[in-house]
Amino acid sequence: MRFYIILFLIFSFFSVNVYGQSASPKATPALTVTTTAPAPEPERFLNKDLKTQIFEIKHRDPQALVRVLDGLSSQDRGTQLVPDKEFKTVTVRDYPENIAVIERAITKLDVPEKLPANLEFQLHIIAASRSGKEKGQVPKNLEDVITQLQSTLQYTSYRYITGIFNRVQDGKGLEANGSTDSILPSSETAAKAYYQYTLRDIRLSIDASGSEVVQINKLNFGMRTPLVSTKKDGSNTIDYKDSGINTGLSLREGEKVVVGTVNIGTSDDAIILVISVKKVK
């Protein structure tokens, strides 16, 4: 009897261990969560030696000024040259010695822009002929020119036709045209003559002697002159002849320059072009 009791106890012990293990649920492995820490913000560059100063720009364009001032900056990390067109300022962040240099440059550069000079040109048209001896009325300021022409040219009579006045800025050009009464003294028609002229690339400069001189790189003058011819039936017909001068020249203020002469009609008649310039204050 004791033997059976011992067997029963042994059997019960093994049954509990075997079935207990099979009945127990398997352990669930722990869920691993991986998180990435946010990247630290980049450290702001601080240089305690850098200073900031705002300059007011009164006359010039701040953006254009900064392009010139950029070469005066130390170009170190953290330095700045910031223009503001609305408030007309330039903000400088740099070392004190660089700011001082930039300030002196701004004082020199931020000045009112110099306006170009105004030049008044006077163009005079004079008719010359070998067919007469009369001296027509001419302005007093051209009498010395007529005297000079009489001593150098072979024309016997001179008549003042017209004067043209135009004002232009230094560095610019001008173009003008118009009409005038018949140029030829022997003309039997009231047909008008027509002229047009252009001045290109006008420059006011200083010559080697230190005097101001006006340079005209291109002067073009043209004129259409009416010529009367008689047909076999006795009637007159009018034809126009084109003539002109193309040149370049230099002249000083108040100086009257004979640009040249151009034959019109026959070789006995010509027009003479005289030009002068005055600087308008």
93 found inside a domain? yes
Give the range among 30-44, 54-68, 102-116 with minimum mean pLDDT: 30-44
Task: Tell me the pLDDT tens digit for each residue of 244-257.
Answer: 999 999 999 989 99
10 found inside a domain? no
Q: How far apart are CA 45 and CA 79, in angstroms?
A: 11
Q: Which of 6-10, 137-141, 142-146, 182-186 has the highest mean pLDDT?
A: 142-146
Q: How confident is the model at residue 268 (pLDDT cuts 50, 70, 90)?
A: confident
**215 and 92, same structural domain?**
no
**175 and 85, same structural domain?**
no
**197 and 105, same structural domain?**
no
18 found inside a domain? no
Report the DSSP beta bridge partners of residue 197: 176, 221
Count: domains in the chain: 2
Q: How confident is the model at residue 189 (pLDDT cuts 50, 70, 90)?
A: low
Closest CA to 259 of 241, 242, 247, 277: 247
**142 and 267, same structural domain?**
yes
**190 and 99, same structural domain?**
no
**260 and 126, same structural domain?**
yes
Q: How confident is the model at residue 231 (pLDDT cuts 50, 70, 90)?
A: confident
**167 and 78, same structural domain?**
no
**265 and 139, same structural domain?**
yes
Amino acid at 256: K
**254 and 139, same structural domain?**
yes
**209 and 85, same structural domain?**
no
Angle formed by the axes of helices 96-109 and 62-69, nearest 10° = 130
CATH number of the domain bearing residue 67: 3.30.1370.120
Which pLDDT belongs to residue 235? 76
Report the DSSP beta bridge partners of residue 134: none
What is the domain extent for residue 67? Answer: 51-109
**124 and 149, same structural domain?**
yes
64 found inside a domain? yes
Pair 278, 117: CB distance under 8 Å:
no
**124 and 86, same structural domain?**
no
Average of per-residue pLDDT across 148-175: 90
pTM of the predicted model as reported, rounded to 2 decimal places? 0.62
Instruction: Please measure the distance between the N-terminal and C-terminal CA atoms of the chain and give it in whole angstroms.
Output: 147
4 found inside a domain? no
Closest CA to 174 of 160, 187, 164: 164
At residue 36, φ and ψ (nearest 5 deg) are -100, 125
